Amino acid sequence: MRGIGMGSWGARLWRRRKRKRAADPEDDGSVSDSGSGSEGPPQQQQQVKPCLSPVPPLQRLLSACRALLTGSSSPPTPSAVALIRGIMDKIGPDDVGLRDEIRFFNKMNAAGLQNPPIVTCKPIYEGANFTIAVFFLPLGAVMPLHDHPGMTVFTKVLIGSARLEAYDWVRPRVLAGCCSGSRRRTLAKKVRDDHGVTAAASAWVLFPNSGGNMHRFAAAEDAHCAFLDVLTPPYAPTDRRRCTFYQDLPYEHHRPRPCTCRSTATGGAICDDDVLVAEEQTCRLAWLEEVPQPRNLRVVCLPFRGPTIF
């Protein structure tokens, strides 16, 4: 979309005012000579410039995403990433209408009705190239460890505080227990372990192969947490972009064992006994094992009733 700085919202307002002036010549935005009946020279007309309201931050974000995000599995350009992050850094809770959620969950927690806590998702925009949504986590709620296959995700905390743990796969892929008949476990490296991510922090970005594509997000025990997400391309099970959940196990949990399987049997990966890991690196390594969606994960999707965007 062209005109990101002005935004489609401002452009439409300008066109409406232009059409109104064309339909009503007396309201042409000029000041005429009050003494038009005199024979003196006409006074110079004073042009009145249209007054455009500032484009709301959420509308700016949507316009930028439409212009810059193509839905490709390849990450956006660095300039596109920087622009979208900059816009998200200026978005606050009022810009996405979070006050109702805060009051609602305060009542729920006071009544002791949430067990386990309910995670709320409000899709703001859903398209083929990207999705914008707000997630609200009440006290102590956890978004379990999950992935974003082939996706780039922008995240900005809006209220509260949360702990973020994030992993990336070790390259080339390293498998454990591939000959034992047990669930497949894949070696990953922890790239983030932040205990106090707040609204003061800048938006962060994860990419298909870096930045912590598998992450766990947990609200603090004493405060609600809400964050804004932009996902590109969005989840699509038919395109092999389904959400997979994981359990992380300590690196020492698995003991290397003799293995005769080759890359053709492991999808291009190698077995752990083919890899030597330095002792100082093991503290950041873990085995990620695919698991079903946790039964205690309760996610409710509600309609977005915040500012109007188009």
Question: Count of CB atoms within 10 A of residue 98's CB?
Answer: 20
**What is d(CA 152, CA 85) in angstroms, rounded to the nearest whole number?**
12
- Say if residues 226 and 134 touch (Cβ distance below 8 Å): yes
Q: 43-102, pLDDT tens digit by residue?
A: 555 665 565 678 899 999 999 999 999 999 899 999 999 999 999 999 999 899 887 666
Whether residue 306 lies inside any domain: the answer is no
Two tokens, residue 5: 């700085």
CATH code, domain with 104: 2.60.120.10
Two tokens, residue 242: 């389904």
Whether residue 128 lies inside any domain: the answer is yes
Whether residue 20 lies inside any domain: the answer is no
Q: 90-113, pLDDT tens digit by residue?
A: 999 989 988 766 666 666 555 556
Whether residue 256 lies inside any domain: the answer is yes
Percentages (nearest 5) of helix, strand, coil residues in the chain: 25, 30, 45
pLDDT in the model for residue 143: 95
Stated pTM of the model: 0.75
Whether residue 272 lies inside any domain: the answer is yes
Report how many domains make up the chain. Answer: 1
pLDDT value at 157 more than 60? yes
- Say if residues 245 and 292 touch (Cβ distance below 8 Å): yes
Whether residue 221 lies inside any domain: the answer is yes
Whether residue 8 lies inside any domain: the answer is no
What amino acid occupies position 84? I
Q: Comparing 2-6, 34-38, 280-284, 285-289, which segment has the lowest mean pLDDT?
A: 2-6
Range of the domain at 179: 57-301
- Say if residues 64 and 83 touch (Cβ distance below 8 Å): yes
Residue that wins the pLDDT comparison between 265 and 201: 201
DSSP sequence for 216-241: EEEE-TTS-EEEEEEEESPPBGGGTB
Whether residue 171 lies inside any domain: the answer is yes
Q: Is the peptide bond before 41 cis (omega within 30 degrees of 0)?
A: no
Residue spans of alpha helices (H) in 42-132: 57-68, 78-89, 99-111
pLDDT in the model for residue 308: 85
Two tokens, residue 30: 């000029």
pLDDT value at 4 more than 50? no
Question: Count of CB atoms within 10 A of residue 60's CB?
Answer: 26
